[in-house]
Each structure stands twice: as C-alpha cells, then as structure tokens.
Structure 1
Amino acid sequence: MSAKTPEETSEDVVARFADKARYVVHLEMAYDIVDELASSPERYIESIYKLSRLAAKVLNDVQKRLDEGGLSEEDQSTLEGVRRSLENWALAQEEFIKYLERINKEALRGEVKRFAALAVAPSYRAIRAKQIMERKGAGR
C-alpha cells in the first residue's frame, strides 16, 4: 500500500465530508447553508454546525422510514447507504475541521468553496433518497 501525499489525503477529507453533506443538502433543501458557507468561508464553523443539526434530523428521518418497512429492496438499500454514511458524520466532520485548521487562510477559502460545490452537486443516491423520503408514508 503506497502512502498518500498530504494533498491527496486532504482532498479525500474534503470529498468524504462533502459526500455525506450532499444527503443533508438535498434531503433538507439546505442550499442556503451551502451558499452561506461559500460566500463566507471564514465562518465555516457556524455553517457546519447548521449542517450537523440537519444531519441528525436526516439520520433520524431515514431510520424512521426504514423502520416503517414496505420498501423495495432497492429503496431499502439506498436508505441504508444514506444511514451508514450519516452515522459516520462526526468523524468526517472532525477530519474536515482539523484539516481546515492546518491550512493557510487563502487555501481555507478555496477548500471551503470546493466543499460547498461538491456538497451541492446532485448524486444518484441523494436524488433517489429524496424521492423515497418524499413518497407517502415517509414520515414527512
């Protein structure tokens, strides 16, 4: 196994957290928080706090929907993937914040904006999860 450069590791941290945030952004329509993050990167802690609160809500909503049952295998698999991803939110968030604390101010602005761009980008699983959660009986 080859060692990764600091840049590769750092990029993985940003992308990993953005992958999790994407579910929150799309399921809770939290585009305003991502916009706030992109326009004021130096206030990233406040925006991440808001996303974290919503992550807890989304995790709870997804678990409730799974508990309700009546899902196709594909729908259940999709929501289980979202749940697994969000269950590791705290670790990814901590890694992201520690990374941002280590870099200079200019790099921080760029990485926060990159995170915002990745978090708002739709993915197949985020869109599928949103469709599943919006169906009747989804606890919303």
Structure 2
Amino acid sequence: MLRTSAIILLLAAVALGSSPKTSDERIVGGHDAYAGQFPYQITLQQVILFIRGHICGGSILNENWVLTAAHCIPNFGSLEVGAGAHNLNQGALQTQRVSRSVIHALYTGGVGPYDIALVQLQSPLTFNQFVSAINLPAAGKIHSGRYLSL
C-alpha cells in the first residue's frame, strides 16, 4: 500500500509539476492581455492528493457553470476552477471546486468532434471586474467576417 501511494505521488508530481514553457514558446504572434480584459477566462486545475496543476482553460457561462473541452476532464483526481487572476503566479484567484462534469454524449475521445464539456461549481463565483460571464451570441446568430477571441 505504501509503495502504491509513493508511486501515485511521484506520478502526480511529474505530471503536474513539469516546468511551464514561457509565453514566447507557446503563443505565436500574440500579445499580452491586460488585467480584466478576459474576465470570463478560467483555469481548470486538476488536484491529485495535495498537488494542483493547470490543465486547461474554459469560459464562465454563469456563476455556477463553466464551458471547457471534454478532453480536459480527467478520469482521476478532482477538479477546481480558478477565476479572476491575470497571472496564476500573482494576484487574487477565486477558486471553486467542481461538483460535476457533463461531457457531450457523442464525444469519443481525443480532440475530435463533440470535444465539449460543462463543469458545475460546488459554490458560485463572485462576479466583479475580473470575473464575469462570457457574452455569447443569441441562438442562431452567426458573426461572419469578424475576429473572435478564443
């Protein structure tokens, strides 16, 4: 039992503790966002034992629900949503546990079709200038010919 726990802890540390790349290595042709520019953006974090790590982003739909990709929902560990921080290493971050996730019924794995999921928060987020819902278009409304921020 002790050996199994040690192996799980080691794997969690390796999976979640790898050094992140700098923004120059991940983003091509982008620019830094200013604080509060994308108040609907969250960090989806996986928690294994006591180790927490960013795994994906998502968008706040309302105080209780977040939209993310289905491939971001792990098969083990628990999930938390962080909102309101401009930089994960600085500033205030509202953190809420995920109470359940709903993966699209036709999703079969990978980053293919139907790669979408909803996560419900255990407690509601508190909206402010740095945390708010994304402004989605009305049903059937398509914004053709416009740039979109994802």
Whether TM exceeds 0.5 here: the answer is: no
Of Structure 1 and Structure 2, the greater strand share is in 2
Q: Which band: TM-score by shorter chain?
A: under 0.3
> RCO greater where, 1 or 2, for CA within 8 Å and sep 6 or more?
1
Q: How high is the TM-score relative to the length of structure 2? A: 0.21
Higher percent of residues as helix: 1
- Whichever of the two has the greater Rg, that structure is 2
